[in-house]
Amino acid sequence: MGAPPKKAFPLRIDPALFAAVERTAAADFRSANAEIEVLLREALARRGVKVGVSEAPKRGRPPKEAGSS
């Protein structure tokens, strides 16, 4: 069907580190969650770990079926 939902899990993080993530996210016009994903992908890429990008869920109205009016 569509892409699987994102994996949710609790993250315990130092408040000062999270504040820095929030500041960086705001400067990049991203949510803290999206910023953490970007930072993780960058860190993994520097280590030579390839991470695929999941297919984004399709948005909007589904196409009409043939023969329906």
Take residue 26 and report the two structure tokens written for it.
Answer: 């705001």
Residue 37 has pLDDT above 70, yes or no: yes
Domain ranges of the chain: 15-46
Q: Calculate mean pLDDT across residues 36-48.
A: 95
pTM (predicted TM-score): 0.69
Token couple for 22: 């929030």
What pLDDT is recorded for position 1? 54
Integer Cα distance of 23 and 20 in angstroms:
5
Residue 19 pLDDT > 90: yes
- Tell me what the mean pLDDT of segment 6-32 comes to: 95
Q: Which of 28, 33, 30 has its CA nearest to residue 10?
A: 33
CA 56/CA 54 separation, integer angstroms: 6
On the question of pLDDT at 69 being above 90, the answer is no
